Amino acid sequence: MEFNGLLNTSLDLNAEPLRFPDERSALVDELKRVNAENKRLTEMLTEVSKNYNELQNRIMECNKIKNPGMDNTAASRKRKAVINGSASESSSSDEQSCKKLREEHTKAKISRVYIQTQASDTSLIVKDGYQWRKYGQKVTRDNPCPRAYFKCSYAPTCPVKKKVQRSVEDRSVLVATYDGEHNHPHTSKLEMTSDLNRSVILGLVPCPTSLGSSGPSITLDLTKQKTSYNSSSKVSTPEFQKFLVEQMASTLTKDPNFKSALAAAISGKFLQQTER
DNA sequence: CGCTTTTGACCGGCGC
DNA sequence: GCGCCGGTCAAAAGCG
């Protein structure tokens, strides 16, 4: 992922004959400089995503230490079970209910996706390649932005649900929470890729049903393409880091504002040099 | 006309 | 028991 393609498309260096003898060498120098900067930025991006993954692993480790063998959700559910049932229940039935809860938890796979969108884009539509039907919208207490509720409408038996809400901290970021697993093949790859052009997936967060717990492996099944990553097992792999970096870079290179700004900055530099 | 979206009503869980 | 809150339902409206 280099910005060379961008530079080649934005500035066709061969389009016009060079008027100044120094211009060519200046352009080459500038190109070298931009390439070096590009490399540096790429390294920075890789470093950032690496740090992010390390941090996430640490959080998971901490949670495991805090609640060995049981996540918060299971704990809360167990608490509820104790309240509902009699306190003098035998330990074996307790264990059984625990087992059941854990099974339930692994069955209900939940993942959270952060999607960067245009600030002006007020829709709560995340085109991930599946067909969704909106069945509700609600304003929640912790976030003034409404939360939209979607069901997978591709197959009537598909149990997958999705909640989409704008982030409180950054309104341009959509938070999509996927609940369950699709029991049918992916519907449209084109839609998904087009959406990735419009926005960038900032991260896939393994999202146990309650925060701060170490849940089971959670899969975001954004189709079986290269954009599909099992968040818990692949998030720290070089492939995922590369994917993140590529997504960020492709978003930048596909952004016309970024292109024009870069072109303006470079041409401005050239003008300065030629004026001198 | 059929499908999707909107939106107020309703329901169940939870805390007090 | 009551009130709050998140999630879901379903009738009405919108749209192609």
* Protein residue nearest nucleotide C9, by CA to C1': A135
Q: Is the CB of A171 under 7 A from strand B?
A: no
- Which of residues 25-44 of A have CB within 7 Å of strand B? none
Over 60: is that where the pLDDT of A122 sits? yes
CA of A30 to C1' of B3 (A): 56
Q: Is the CB of A144 under 7 A from strand C?
A: no
Backbone angles phi, psi at A186, to 5 degrees: -60, 145
Mapping DSSP onto H, E and C, the string for A27-71 reads HHHHHHHHHHHHHHHHHHHHHHHHHHHHHHHHHHHHHHHHCCCCC
CA of A138 to C1' of C12 (A): 18
CA of A215 to C1' of B10 (A): 32
CA of A160 to C1' of C11 (A): 24
- A184 has which bridge partners? none
Q: Which tokens in the block code for residue A75?
A: 């704990």
Residue A131 contacts residue A142 (beta carbons within 8 Å): no
Q: Which tokens in the block code for residue A253?
A: 């290179």
**Per residue in A211-220, pLDDT tens?**
333 333 333 3
Give pLDDT, residue A73: 35
- Chain B nucleotides close to protein (CB under 7 A) are 4-9, 13-15
**Per residue in A63-109, pLDDT tens?**
555 444 333 333 333 333 333 333 333 333 444 444 444 444 444 56
Which of A41-50, A88-97, A263-272 is predicted with the least confidence, judged by mean pLDDT?
Answer: A88-97
A154 CA to centre of own chain: 23
Backbone angles phi, psi at A133, to 5 degrees: -120, 125
Please list the alpha-helical segments (H only) found in A189-255.
Answer: 189-198, 231-234, 238-254
> Can you state the percent helix, strand and coil of chain A, rounding each to 5?
50, 15, 35
